[in-house]
């Protein structure tokens, strides 16, 4: 289920060129992923259970396309959704729209994996993960 988060652009978000600095979008998109886990509580619960076992999820690749500068006073509408999954990774799609328009400020794809911290290796998306995140399991079964 897609999560929607809103962030009001303040003075500390912009750089000398008076638009949101590219690095800030990484933070905005992080906030959007937290909103996704809160909206889809079963995902947050899964992450908590896995973390207790020493398994964490982490981003291994970030691709951001910048479309239009956002400035102080704008509100960004961050939309986050699960996009695709493979046997060892999943991709979150994130879009930052200016206000309630369909004008994108930035679009991103974040590739994530699950890592066994003790073994220091990426693990496959297994039954425990799929049972805790049915939407992810659905994408794996489709693919």
* 5, 15, 81, 102: the active-site residue: 15
Active-site annotation holds for 15: yes
Give the burial class of 5: count Cβ atoms within 10 A of its Cβ; 0-12 exposed, 13-18 middle, 19 or more buried. Answer: buried
What Å distances lie between residue 90 and 4, 15, 39, 101, 126, CA to CA? Answer: 19, 32, 18, 28, 13
Q: How big is the CA angle at 67 (ends 61 and 68), to the nearest 5 degrees?
A: 135
Task: List, by residue number, the catalytic residues.
Answer: 15
């Amino acid at each position: 289920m897609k999560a929607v988060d809103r962030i009001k652009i303040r003075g500390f978000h912009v750089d000398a060129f008076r638009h949101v600095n590219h690095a800030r979008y990484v933070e905005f998109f992080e906030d959007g992923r937290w909103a996704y886990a809160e909206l889809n509580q079963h995902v947050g619960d899964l992450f908590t259970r896995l973390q207790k076992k020493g398994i964490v999820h982490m981003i291994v690749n970030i691709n951001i396309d910048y479309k239009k500068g956002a400035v102080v006073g704008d509100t960004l509408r961050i939309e986050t959704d699960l996009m695709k999954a493979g046997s060892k990774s999943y991709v979150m799609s994130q879009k930052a729209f200016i206000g309630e328009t369909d004008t994108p400020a930035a679009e991103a794809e974040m590739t994530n994996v699950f890592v066994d911290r003790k073994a220091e290796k990426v693990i496959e998306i297994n039954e425990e993960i799929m049972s805790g995140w049915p939407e992810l399991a659905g994408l794996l079964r489709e693919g």
